[in-house]
């Protein structure tokens, strides 16, 4: 099977090609899930974000323009926004809901989750530490603090195009990072 460009798959999907949609899903589901999990710190919330992102794609509620940047960056922006929306909705409803839990099960799941979160956090921070200082700064502001590219530009005084370039380059370096490839199986 030949490797197809993301834009070709996207355009076929927009035309109603379900196979192209499936190919995009297979290619990006793990990346979107791990990014959503990093933001939500919850497996079911991350799964909900993945579903929402791909539903937006399939129903054409999100439009990709190749001249605006890389497809994967655009997809991660949609993921970040969907994660932030979900967290906002959960926060609004959280105080009104009470749930009963088996304390033993909750404690075990909580400890397991804390350990897994710590391991993932250490892996990501190790990979980020391998970037140069400028790339570390924009990655932390964008993906860990949830700031938009425009906000990063205005807060740091760095031109918007430079911010975007640094993020794109940092993501490229992170994708090729041996640490992340080993732990997250990036290809």
Indicate which CATH number applies to the domain containing 37: 1.10.1740.10
pTM of whole model > 0.85? no
Query: For the chain, where are the E strands, in sequence order?
Result: none
Query: Are 89 and 123 part of one and the same domain?
Result: no
CA-CA distance, 97 to 94, in Å (whole number)? Answer: 6
CA-CA distance, 123 to 179, in Å (whole number)? Answer: 7
Terminal-residue alpha carbon distance, the chain: 16
Structural domain of 54: 1-93
Query: Are 110 and 89 part of one and the same domain?
Result: no
Q: Are 43 and 33 in contact (CB under 8 A)?
A: no
Query: Are 81 and 113 part of one and the same domain?
Result: no
Q: Is residue 3 one of the residues assigned to a domain?
A: yes
CA-CA distance, 134 to 176, in Å (whole number)? Answer: 18
pLDDT value, residue 99: 47
Q: Is residue 99 one of the residues assigned to a domain?
A: no
Q: Where is the domain boundary, 93, 115, 135?
A: 93
Q: What is the largest CA-CA distance in the chain?
A: 52
- pLDDT tens track for 4-32: 688 899 999 999 999 999 999 999 999 99
Task: List the chain residues with pLDDT less than 70.
Answer: 1-4, 93-121, 178-187
């Amino acid at each position: 099977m030949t490797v197809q460009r993301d834009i070709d798959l996207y355009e076929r999907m927009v035309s109603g090609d379900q196979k192209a949609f499936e190919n995009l899903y297979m290619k990006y589901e793990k990346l979107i899930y791990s990014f959503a999990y990093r933001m939500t710190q919850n497996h079911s919330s991350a799964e909900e974000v993945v579903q929402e992102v791909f539903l937006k794609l399939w129903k054409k509620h999100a439009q990709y323009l190749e001249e605006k940047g890389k497809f994967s960056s655009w997809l991660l922006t949609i993921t970040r926004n969907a994660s932030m929306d979900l967290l906002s909705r959960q926060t609004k409803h959280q105080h009104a809901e009470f749930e009963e839990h088996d304390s033993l099960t909750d404690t075990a799941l909580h400890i397991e989750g804390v350990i897994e979160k710590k391991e993932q956090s250490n892996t990501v921070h190790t990979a980020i530490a391998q970037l140069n200082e400028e790339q570390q700064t924009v990655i932390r502001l964008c993906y860990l603090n949830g700031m938009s590219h425009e906000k990063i530009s205005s807060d740091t005084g760095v031109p918007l195009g430079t911010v975007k370039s640094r993020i794109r380059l940092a993501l490229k370096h992170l994708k090729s990072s041996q640490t992340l490839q080993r732990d997250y199986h990036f290809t």
